[in-house]
C-alpha cells in the first residue's frame, strides 16, 4: 500500500514543482531543468524498494542510453525549426523513436557512456545561434501545460513501475527517459515566441541531459553497494553538473533568428 501511494504521489509532485520553477527561469535555464532526470530519476527511486539494487543498476544503464535519444530529439527539432512547429514536432518524435530503437542493443555502461559523450559534445559544439528570451513568469497556457506535463510524466512512471516485470529493467529505464515534458513544452514555446526561443530551450534540454547522464552513471556504479543513499549521491552530482553547465558560455545569441 505504501509503495502504491508513493507511485501515485511522488511523480506528479516532482514534475509539477519542476514545471512551476521552469516557467520563471527563461528558455535556456528552463530547458536545462526539463532535461534533468525528473521522470527517469523518479522511476529509479520507486524501483529500488520493490526490485532491489541490481535491477536499478540495469535500469540506470537503459536510462543513460535513453539520453542519447533525447539528444537526437532535440537536435532534430532544432534542425527543422524553420519548417514550423508541426513538422518539427513530427520530425522530433520520429527521430527519438528511431534513436531509441538504435540504442536498445547498448547494454553496457561503458559503451553507453562513450556514445552519449560523443553525441552530447557534438550537439553542443554545433548548436545553431539563437535568440535568448527573458523568463515569462506566466503565460496564458501555463497552467494547462503544467497539468499536461504532470499527467503524461506521472502516467509514464506509474506504467513503467507496474510493467517492469514484462519490459525488463533496462528497457523500462530507456523508456523512462522519454522526453515527454520537453515534447509538450517545445511546440508551445515555438508557437508563442519563435524559433530562437525554442532553440534556446532545446539547447538547455541537451545540457540537462548531461546532468541526467551523470545521474545514471553514478546510480549504476554505486546503487548495489550503497542502496538508497546512491540515489541521493546521484541527484546531488547531477545538480552540480547542471550548475556547472549553466555557468559556462552558451551559443552566440542572434536576435535575427525568428
2: its cell numbers? 505504501
**Would residue 252 count as lying in a domain?**
no
**Would residue 239 count as lying in a domain?**
yes
Rounded alpha-carbon distances, angstroms, from residue 120 to 51, 123, 125: 31, 5, 8
**Would residue 58 count as lying in a domain?**
yes
Give the pLDDT confidence score for residue 117 in this predicted structure.
94
Give the pLDDT confidence score for residue 42 in this predicted structure.
83
What residues make up the domain containing 107? 2-247
pTM of the model: 0.82
**Would residue 258 count as lying in a domain?**
no
CA triplet 113, 115, 121: central angle to 5 degrees? Answer: 95
**Would residue 43 count as lying in a domain?**
yes
User: pLDDT tens, position by position, for the chain (258 residues)?
Assistant: 444 455 555 556 666 665 666 567 666 677 777 778 877 888 888 889 888 999 999 999 999 999 999 999 999 998 888 888 889 889 999 999 999 999 999 889 999 999 999 999 999 888 865 554 444 444 444 566 667 666 766 677 777 777 788 888 888 889 888 887 777 778 877 887 788 888 888 888 898 899 999 999 999 999 999 999 999 999 999 988 888 877 764 444 443 343
Q: Are 103 and 211 in contact (CB under 8 A)?
A: no
**Would residue 226 count as lying in a domain?**
yes
Give the pLDDT confidence score for residue 134 in this predicted structure.
46
231: its cell numbers? 540515489
**Would residue 18 count as lying in a domain?**
yes
What gap in Å lies between CA 232 and CA 71, rounded to an integer?
Answer: 25
Q: Are 216 and 68 in contact (CB under 8 A)?
A: no
**Would residue 160 count as lying in a domain?**
yes
- φ, ψ of residue 127 to 5 degrees: the values are -60, 130
Burial of 226 (0-12, 13-18, 19+ CB in 10 A): middle
Give the pLDDT confidence score for residue 64 in this predicted structure.
95
Q: How many domains does the chain have?
A: 1
74: its cell numbers? 532535440
Amino acid at each position: 500500500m505504501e509503495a502504491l501511494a508513493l507511485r501515485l504521489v511522488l511523480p506528479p509532485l516532482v514534475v509539477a514543482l519542476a514545471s512551476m520553477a521552469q516557467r520563471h527561469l527563461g528558455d535556456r535555464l528552463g530547458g536545462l531543468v526539463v532535461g534533468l532526470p525528473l521522470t527517469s530519476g523518479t522511476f529509479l527511486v520507486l524501483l529500488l524498494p520493490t526490485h532491489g539494487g541490481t535491477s536499478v543498476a540495469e535500469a540506470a544503464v537503459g536510462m543513460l542510453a535513453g539520453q542519447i535519444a533525447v539528444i537526437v530529439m532535440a537536435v532534430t527539432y532544432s534542425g527543422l525549426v524553420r519548417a514550423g512547429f508541426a513538422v518539427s514536432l513530427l520530425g522530433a518524435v520520429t527521430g527519438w523513436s528511431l534513436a531509441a530503437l538504435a540504442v536498445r542493443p547498448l547494454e553496457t555502461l561503458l559503451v553507453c557512456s562513450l556514445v552519449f559523450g560523443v553525441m552530447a559534445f557534438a550537439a553542443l559544439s554545433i548548436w545553431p545561434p539563437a535568440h535568448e528570451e527573458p523568463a515569462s513568469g506566466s503565460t496564458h497556457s501555463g497552467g494547462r501545460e503544467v497539468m499536461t506535463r504532470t499527467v503524461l510524466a506521472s502516467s509514464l512512471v506509474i506504467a513503467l513501475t507496474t510493467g517492469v516485470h514484462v519490459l525488463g529493467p533496462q528497457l523500462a529505464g530507456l523508456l523512462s527517459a522519454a522526453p515527454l515534458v520537453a515534447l509538450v513544452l517545445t511546440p508551445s514555446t515555438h508557437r508563442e515566441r519563435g524559433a530562437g526561443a525554442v532553440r534556446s530551450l532545446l539547447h538547455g534540454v541537451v545540457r540537462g541531459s548531461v546532468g541526467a547522464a551523470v545521474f545514471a552513471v553514478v546510480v549504476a556504479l554505486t546503487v548495489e553497494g550503497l542502496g538508497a543513499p546512491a540515489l541521493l549521491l546521484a541527484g546531488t552530482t547531477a545538480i552540480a553538473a547542471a550548475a556547472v553547465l549553466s555557468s559556462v558560455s552558451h551559443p552566440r545569441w542572434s536576435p535575427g533568428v525568428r
